[in-house]
Structure 1
């Protein structure tokens, strides 16, 4: 799965003032990333506000991204949830022919046991016709999928090819890297830890921040893949402040504030999220202008 090595970006879903999807802005963000060295695009993840997107809107977003991308970059589609049957139905009823993989979040709210995680992804694996990236994000799901569960899935199912690990737990990353099958990819879901994980043997990142600074962020990860730590950390240091800022209140309000400053989309989010506060937007604007 070399197509999933490097910098993937978790695309936002831009909205107009009336809260409808802004497809022109979405197309511009995709073009911006294609032109500035992003390695692959992820549709309908957490940053895309997938939980407040309707089925038809999701299909329309896919159409816009595919048309704009025109086969230039690999695409990953978010299909996950805490209703295993519903996830399976969506996989069966979605045309996945243009996607390199699906990104499937660990079940949230229900707080399954480790065996529950395993059986959920086992059921998905048995019906999914393309590779699967597991997505562990305990800060949102309320339950951590432990490394032994992730690695059990990696060893038992050939189409489970990677994990987007977003527990912001460096020790957990190291446990995964130590014991993973040779070709299984450990992808950082934490922008602040992405370089360190890559240097330790990870396969890169699915980034929130990367879509706003794709050239330098992708360069940083590429240097990490090449083991050029000193040069890579010079770029990493430039991103420390803005990484903290975009996650200070909520995601994706923070990154949308950055994208608004770059004239790529408005900072509008759907409830229950609210836009970044004036104070945070002021600090974000100052950073972007200085950058």
Structure 2
């Protein structure tokens, strides 16, 4: 099965739950993994930015990867997030992190140092050469400060072996359509924007790596499946119910929004690691009302 087939549909960018003392809460993570798999998600992504990876130690990341493999137990594919703006250090992580059971590596474009398009290309080319698993590009300029253009994405897709797809979260529909028009047949293209997934799949995307599916896996995955079947009328009716949730999830920051939903659903305790903090009280009350009403 090709990567485009095995990662077709809904992936969920797992949160990292914490205890009141700041430790990673593996019991809660176990519950969350069961919740999203039983809810219908096609695969999970561990150590994405939704997992607060900038605030995790290398030892914690390795422990989370191993725990995720054990808990998933081959029920769905596992994608591992490994990225950064220090190319040699990312290469070291690709060499030492346990990737034997991973289907692919999701790697965010370098942040803060704002490389040129050529710098982005060379960064990913170096990662692809070092990685034992296929690389999924991750374009999220709202976080990184630099958009990876359609031309750079397509150059990587066509010229660099081991570059297998992209999570595209620029929010630029014209850019997305250009990638979809010109991509190689094997190249996976998934949405990185919950609120835009429906129109992006209508344009030809293969699914999404979702934040919202942490809290609403059954509803969200059903909506995505309707999109992929081409039944956009049914998908719209499902998506309409979730629009308010998307707004609340991203009103202040991610993952504070989705963690507030999950806390109200007793999936985790509402703790984050600085510099991230929980939602403001007023917004949390809106989350609580949404969960109660649904």
Residue in 1 aligned with 2:88? 85
Preserved CA contact (<8 Å) 2:139 2:147: yes
Preserved CA contact (<8 Å) 2:62 2:97: no
Structure 1: stretches of 5+ with no match in the other structure: none
Pairing 1:211-226 to 2, within 5 Å after superposition: 211-226=214-229
SS of 2:209's equivalent in the other structure is strand
Residue in 2 aligned with 1:133? 136
Kindly indicate whether residue 205 of structure 2 is the aligned counterpart of residue 198 of structure 1: no
Residue in 2 aligned with 1:74? 77
Count of residues paired in the alignment: 291
1:114 to 91, 114, 117: 117
Cα separation, 2, equivalents of 1:244 and 1:80: 27
Deviation (angstroms), 1:203? 0.6
Cα separation, 2, equivalents of 1:121 and 1:137: 15
Residue in 2 aligned with 1:176? 179
Runs (4 or more) in structure 1 with deviation over 3 Å come to: none
Per-residue CA distance 1:142-179 (angstroms, 9 max, x = gap): 01010100010000123111100111121211111111
Cα separation, 2, equivalents of 1:268 and 1:250: 14
Cα separation, 2, equivalents of 1:289 and 1:234: 20
Deviation (angstroms), 1:140? 0.5
Deviation (angstroms), 1:108? 0.4
Residue in 2 aligned with 1:186? 189
1:28 to 28, 31, 48: 31
Kindly indicate whether residue 105 of structure 2 is the aligned counterpart of residue 102 of structure 1: yes
SS of 1:135's equivalent in the other structure is strand
Pairing 1:217-236 to 2, within 5 Å after superposition: 217-236=220-239
Deviation (angstroms), 1:216? 1.2
Residue in 1 aligned with 2:258? 255
Structure 2: stretches of 5+ with no match in the other structure: none
Preserved CA contact (<8 Å) 1:170 1:193: no
Cα separation, 1, equivalents of 2:93 and 2:63: 15
SS of 1:17's equivalent in the other structure is coil
CA RMSD of aligned residues (A): 0.8
Residue in 2 aligned with 1:242? 245
SS of 1:31's equivalent in the other structure is helix
Residue in 2 aligned with 1:266? 269
Cα separation, 2, equivalents of 1:61 and 1:257: 21
1:284 to 275, 280, 287: 287
Residue in 1 aligned with 2:210? 207
Cα separation, 1, equivalents of 2:99 and 2:18: 25
SS of 2:10's equivalent in the other structure is strand
Deviation (angstroms), 1:52? 0.4
Preserved CA contact (<8 Å) 1:188 1:197: yes
Cα separation, 1, equivalents of 2:198 and 2:102: 26
Per-residue CA distance 1:196-251 (angstroms, 9 max, x = gap): 11121101000000111111111111111111110111111011001010100010
Cα separation, 2, equivalents of 1:263 and 1:115: 46
Deviation (angstroms), 1:33? 0.9
Kindly indicate whether residue 13 of structure 2 is the aligned counterpart of residue 10 of structure 1: yes
